[in-house]
């Protein structure tokens, strides 16, 4: 089961801080699901890609989005 991180109540820059902390808790090449608002979507995706992580899937769920992210193999 892929862990779920809900950051729908957080605002930037705390959104990516929490995502980064969540990714540190999983193994390299492991996956993390992130539930977030549309306002945070673009910045979180660009920050993930800049650190070498891979966004596997983006799914809209009513007023929020679910990202499936694969952690990079490098220490990011």
- Residue-wise pLDDT for 17-74, tens only, equals 999 999 999 999 999 999 999 999 999 999 999 999 999 999 999 999 999 999 998 6
Structure tokens belonging to residue 32? 């993390």
Any idea where the domains of the chain sit in the sequence? 4-70
Single pTM value for the model: 0.92
First to last CA, the chain: 23
Can you give the pLDDT at residue 5?
98
Which fold, 4-70? Translation Initiation Factor IF3 (3.30.110)
What are 58-65's contacts with CB under 8 Å, separation 24+? Answer: 61/35, 63/37, 63/38, 64/8, 64/35, 64/36, 64/37, 64/38, 65/35, 65/36, 65/37, 65/38, 65/41
Dist. CA 15–CA 69, nearest whole Å: 14
């Amino acid at each position: 089961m892929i862990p779920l991180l809900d950051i729908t109540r957080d605002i930037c820059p705390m959104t990516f801080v929490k995502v980064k902390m969540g990714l540190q808790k999983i193994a390299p090449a492991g996956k993390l699901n992130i539930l977030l608002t549309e306002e945070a979507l673009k910045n979180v995706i660009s920050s993930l890609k800049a650190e070498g992580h891979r966004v596997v899937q983006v799914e809209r769920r009513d007023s929020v989005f679910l990202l499936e992210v694969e952690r990079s193999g490098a220490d990011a």
